[in-house]
Chains A and B, each alone.
Chain A
Amino acid sequence: MRDTTARSAEAVLEIRDLSVTYGGRPPVRAVRGVSLRLARGEALGLVGESGCGKSSLARALAGLEPAEGQVMMNGRPLPHRRTREQARRVQMVFQDPYASLNPRMTAVQTVAEMLRVHRLRPKDQIAERARELLDLAGLPSQVADTRPAALSGGQRQRVAIARALALEPDVLVADEPTTALDVSVQAVILELLAHLRETLGLALLLITHNLAVVSAVCDRAAVMHSGEIVEQAAVPALLASPQHPYTRRLLAAVPRLGPPPG
């Protein structure tokens, strides 16, 4: 018993037997009793194909979707209805930054709004802090006063990341953060995520259909299929000796750049 408590204290985020069910006849069980742990500063990849439940799981974690089961943050339960203080611990970055940013707000305004709503800085320091965060996310200062429409896809995703960082979260949940981006831009955003993780000690839950992205960025990976985690392992082990038939099927299907291995 004591042992369990000690271990969950190490985990920045732990979910136990989490289920997400959508109404309808019959109801759809999108996430079925999933348990996961995320250590401080760790990068965990959640991999699966469309409809496997990975985005439902992410949204439940961020408190955007009602769920059964338990979400523990630093060893304490995180309810679905969260206080502001609780809400800011887990922040999300979405696939389409264009859809997740307010088109009428400049980059600075977008980040400043977060700081203001959560009262994280005195009024007179908000703008300065917003620029600092955008800088941290690698947005060129010349475009800090620009609206999303005039930004490139990569720049928009940087704004979305800066906005998430504004709340000084412990966990960043990134749901297909580079899927809408070109490969040369994807690489730059992955570098940024890895850098933030290292410098801020941020734990990262990276949700993606792309195993190669997980391979590049994550320490561990969990493979999701039909609402369940079918396999969980350190990335090199998962790639070298996948245990579950579905993981093997997924790995075999990834097109490779170069002669087939073996």
Chain B
Amino acid sequence: MSDDLLEVRGLRVTMRGAAGGRAPVVHDLSLRLAAGEALGLVGESGSGKTTTLRAILRLLPAAGRIAAGQVLFAGQDLARVRERDLRAVRGGRIGVVWQDPLAALDPLMRVGEQIAEVIRAHGRGASRREAHQRALGLMRQVELPGAEAMFRRYPHELSGGQRQRIVIASAIAAGPRLLLADEPTTALDVTIQDQILTLLARLRAELGLALLLVTHDLAVVWQTCDRVAVMYAGRIVEEGPVASVFAAPRHHYTRGLLGAAPSLEMPGVLPRGIPGTQPGPTGAPGCAFAPRCPASDHKCRTVTPVLAAPSGDGHPAACHHPLPTGLGAGRA
């Protein structure tokens, strides 16, 4: 066994389409996360990043199914364990932060009670009083002002940033070692996003938490994560340390994505878009990015590239014609 906290091996997720057939939305996806590490799973809408996160927790929508693969966590394969064994994992040993805190919270329950509920559900025999005290402690830990008064509030009485702090407090309430976060700051204003990202970084350091962060925002990944995996059309197309991937992307999609982000450092410079659109789910062979790729040839359209490390230094990319390592920097 490795010292990985989470290992996903060969995950394949299919969705039932409107016509009744099943289409693959995540193909042969593997990733590993060491204890205390932060991995950013980045991609545009429809890339399969949220589906991957949901598959890890077996919280796929009714049309979705794990068709193959393993999700290894704490010596168990979450893709196979009984549903009731999953309950100790979801929100317990794996904390989860969703994009929309208002949807994640119970509108009719005081926010403090929602944290206390997690403690009682996962904390074997904590009394009501203990749970209450620990919830207050958690609210202070996520820097909510006036915890006593805040405890008794309802979600609608809180600001978006305060709600997300409640969700984060609930996510860490049972003392997990792994946090999954799906676009945790996308619904928030930029000044609040900054505060929440700072909070997540502090909690990770204090609690030794590993983080799997799903986002579309490369800058958020840069600021938050150690490693990044770039998804396109249901596959990881490039993966490596954040500094390496962003400074010297090897996949043409990653380079395109980096060049498409407008920058504060270069006023008056228009970002370059990537012509075309991401294809929907398809089982067809070949590289899904080939139709939009400046370097694609016949091989790209017929043979699916695998995520492979280069012979020299550099990180893995699923590309037949990868950009040379150390060159072609995305921000050039």
Q: Which residues of B contact A252 (CB under 8 A)?
A: 194
Is the pair A215, B223 in contact by a Cβ cutoff of 8 Å? no
Q: Nearest Cβ in chain B — how far from A44, in angstroms? A: 14
Q: Which residues of B contact A50 (CB under 8 A)?
A: 189
Q: Mark B205-235, 1 if CB is under 8 A from A, else 0.
A: 0000000000011111011000000000000
Q: Which residues of B contact A187 (CB under 8 A)?
A: 259-262, 270-274
Q: Is B151 an interface residue (CB 8 A)?
A: no
- A152 and B292 alpha carbons, distance in the complex (Å): 15
- A252 and B190 alpha carbons, distance in the complex (Å): 10
- Quick one: given A49-B190, A182-B44, A250-B190, are A188 and B273 in contact (CB under 8 Å)? yes
Tally of contact residues, B, Cβ under 8 A: 39
Q: Which residue of B lies closest to A153 (CB)?
A: B45
Q: Is A251 an interface residue (CB 8 A)?
A: yes
Is the pair B220, A255 in contact by a Cβ cutoff of 8 Å? yes
Q: Which residues of B contact A213 (CB under 8 A)?
A: 262
- A255 touches which of B194, B260, B266, B275 (Cβ 8 Å): B194
Q: Nearest Cβ in chain A — how far from B225, in angstroms? A: 12
- A157 and B9 alpha carbons, distance in the complex (Å): 39
Is the pair A216, B268 in contact by a Cβ cutoff of 8 Å? yes
Q: Which residue of B lies closest to A251 (CB)?
A: B264
- A186 and B274 alpha carbons, distance in the complex (Å): 9
Is the pair A183, B270 in contact by a Cβ cutoff of 8 Å? no
Q: Is B307 an interface residue (CB 8 A)?
A: no
Q: Nearest Cβ in chain B — how far from A104, in angstroms? A: 20
Q: Is A127 an interface residue (CB 8 A)?
A: no
Q: Which residue of B lies closest to A151 (CB)?
A: B277
Is the pair A210, B262 in contact by a Cβ cutoff of 8 Å? yes
Within 8 A of B (CB), among A27-68: 49-50
Q: Which residues of B contact A1 (CB under 8 A)?
A: none
- Quick one: given A183-B260, A249-B191, are A257 and B246 in contact (CB under 8 Å)? yes
Is the pair B268, A212 in contact by a Cβ cutoff of 8 Å? no
Is the pair A255, B189 in contact by a Cβ cutoff of 8 Å? no
Within 8 A of A (CB), among B247-261: 256-261
Q: Is B263 an interface residue (CB 8 A)?
A: yes
Is the pair B262, A215 in contact by a Cβ cutoff of 8 Å? yes
Is the pair B267, A261 in contact by a Cβ cutoff of 8 Å? no
Q: Nearest Cβ in chain A — how far from B150, in angstroms? A: 21
Q: Nearest Cβ in chain A — how far from B273, in angstroms? A: 3
Is the pair A253, B194 in contact by a Cβ cutoff of 8 Å? yes
- Chain A interface, >50% SS class: helix
Within 8 A of A (CB), among B300-328: none
Is the pair B270, A217 in contact by a Cβ cutoff of 8 Å? yes
Q: Which residues of A contact B299 (CB under 8 A)?
A: none
Q: Nearest Cβ in chain B — how far from A80, in angstroms? A: 30
- A256 and B264 alpha carbons, distance in the complex (Å): 8
Q: Which residues of B contact A211 (CB under 8 A)?
A: 190, 264
Q: Mark A181-194, 1 if CB is under 8 A from B, else 0.
A: 01111111111001
Q: Is B244 an interface residue (CB 8 A)?
A: no
- A215 touches which of B246, B267, B275 (Cβ 8 Å): B267
Q: Mark B266-308, 1 if CB is under 8 A from A, else 0.
A: 1111111111011000000000000000000000000000000
Is the pair B263, A212 in contact by a Cβ cutoff of 8 Å? yes
Q: Nearest Cβ in chain A — how far from B275, in angstroms? A: 7
- A187 and B256 alpha carbons, distance in the complex (Å): 10
Is the pair B222, A239 in contact by a Cβ cutoff of 8 Å? no
Q: Is B16 an interface residue (CB 8 A)?
A: no
- A217 and B263 alpha carbons, distance in the complex (Å): 11
Q: Nearest Cβ in chain A — how far from B243, in angstroms? A: 9
- B216 touches which of A152, A182, A194, A255 (Cβ 8 Å): A182
Is the pair A250, B191 in contact by a Cβ cutoff of 8 Å? yes
Is the pair B267, A235 in contact by a Cβ cutoff of 8 Å? yes
* Cβ-closest 4 pairs across A and B: A188-B273, A187-B273, A253-B194, A255-B219
Q: Known pairs A187-B260, A256-B222; list 12 more (Cβ under 8 Å).
A: A49-B190, A152-B277, A186-B262, A187-B261, A209-B190, A210-B190, A211-B190, A212-B264, A215-B264, A217-B270, A256-B223, A258-B331
Residues of B within 8 A of A (CB): 44-45, 189-191, 193-194, 197, 216-220, 222-223, 246, 256-275, 277-278, 331
Residues of A within 8 A of B (CB): 49-50, 152, 154, 182-191, 194, 209-213, 215-217, 235-236, 239, 249-258, 261
